[in-house]
Each structure stands twice: as C-alpha cells, then as structure tokens.
Amino acid sequence: MSEEFPVTPDILLRAYAAGVFPMAESADDPGLHWIEPKQRGIIPLDGFHLPAKLEKLVRRHDYTIEADRDFDAVIAACAAPRGTERETWINGPIRRLYRELFANGFCHTIEVRRGDALVGGLYGVSIGAAFFGESMFHRERDCSKLALVHLVARLKAGGYRLLDTQFVTDHLRQFGAIEIPRARYRQLLEQAIRQPADFAIWPKDETPSAERVLASLAARE
C-alpha cells in the first residue's frame, strides 16, 4: 500500500470477494501484503465439532457473550503480543480499515466478558453468507474458543454458508477445520457471497442461552 494508492474499505471488500485478504509484516509495517493461499482453511459449519469441555463451559454461564459492542478493544487485544510472540500482523492501516468496515456493518466481533472485563473474543468480515475470521484472543483460559463456539452458532442461525479461517492450525483442527484447494474455495465463496445472511439474527447485547447455542450447533441443512 502507498500514499498514492491507498487501500479503501471498498477495495478491501472486493479483495475478500475475490478470495484475497491482507496482512502486514509487523505492527510497524506501513503497508499491506495481499495473501491467497493455495490451500484455504475453512470450518464447515455443519461439520463443526464441539469438544465436551467447551459444551460444559457453554452451559455454565460463567461469562457474558455479546457481539459488536467494542471493536477497538477487540482488535487491540488481538494485536497485543502473546507469550513468546512479540510481533503482530495487525498494523495501523489494518486497524483503520477494519474500523471503517465495522462502522459500515461489514465487520463484526464476538466478545467474552467476565463482569466488565473483556477476557476473550474475535473479529471478522461478513459479505453475504460468507464470514471471514480474522483474529481471536483470550485473557482467560478457553475464552477464545468460547467466542468461536458462539460465532459458529450465530452464523448457523443467521443462514451463513461459509466460515473462512484463512489457514488451518492445530487449534482450529479440533473444531473440524479443514484445508481445501484454492479452486474449490473460490466456488464456495462465489456461492456464499451471493446469498443473504443475518449476523444480527440474535440480539447483539444479550448472551444467547446455552440451549439456543447448542441447538443451533446441532442443526443440519
């Protein structure tokens, strides 16, 4: 990215719709690099696996889980150094662009709180019935996983067809994440972005009941 040809939110949405997403080398990197993996990570929504330990956590109601309450806090937490990892791919331009997407209804968060403290969450981009997961974080054990569980339940309830994880990690494999070839991903993407879906199918300021979350996860097409 350069000052003469800045990336705009519209360009960013067009890139996602074409199967491309941006990353930065570090927080200090002034530019963006466009990525299109040969093998794309997705979580098939009907193939989501809920570990027994997380099902118990959903049922316990230890946390408040809301959506789209504080985007800036979520992306700041996602960009913070973790453990031995001192670098982040979330730089200033990424924060600016995704904040604009959030303001325009194309970027969403899932936020996990204990009391008033934000202890886990994630954010991603939504186009049609496709959701592109960007980053997640936790400050208490399993809270990023809890955010993912609530995201998948909301997406299924809202009629989404594609959950893009970009890459597949061991962390995501436990939930059923798989890799598919670029050509197959493009087919699924083209179908999904043409279909309607509703991220706000559930109230964003209320924690969905355990029964609602688990019923949505168990539902099949």
Residue entry with tokens 């993912």 = 148
> Is the pLDDT score of 1 beyond 60?
no
At 18-76, the pLDDT tens digits run 999 998 776 676 778 899 999 999 999 999 999 999 999 999 989 999 999 999 999 99
CB of 20 within 8 A of CB of 34? yes
> Is the pLDDT score of 82 beyond 70?
no
Which residues are CB-neighbours of 171 under 8 A, at least 6 positions away?
Answer: none
Distance from C-alpha of 105 to C-alpha of 103, rounded to nearest angstrom: 6
Distance from C-alpha of 157 to C-alpha of 43, rounded to nearest angstrom: 16
Tokens of 115: 């009391």
Question: Given this model, what pLDDT does residue 2 score?
Answer: 37
Q: For the chain, how many helices (H) and strands (E)?
A: 8, 9
* 3 to 17, 22, 25, 98, 188: CA distances (angstroms): 24, 17, 18, 18, 34
At 181-196, the pLDDT tens digits run 999 999 999 999 999 9
111 DSSP β-pair partners: 66, 121
Considering the entire predicted model, what is its pTM? 0.94
What domains does the chain contain, in order, with CATH numbers?
37-87+105-218 (3.40.630.70)
CB of 12 within 8 A of CB of 101? yes
CA atoms 211, 176, 68, 137: torsion sign: positive
Question: Given this model, what pLDDT does residue 169 score?
Answer: 92
Which residues are CB-neighbours of 213 under 8 A, at least 6 positions away?
Answer: 58, 149, 150, 153
> Is the pLDDT score of 3 beyond 90?
no
* 110 to 13, 64, 164: CA distances (angstroms): 20, 10, 16
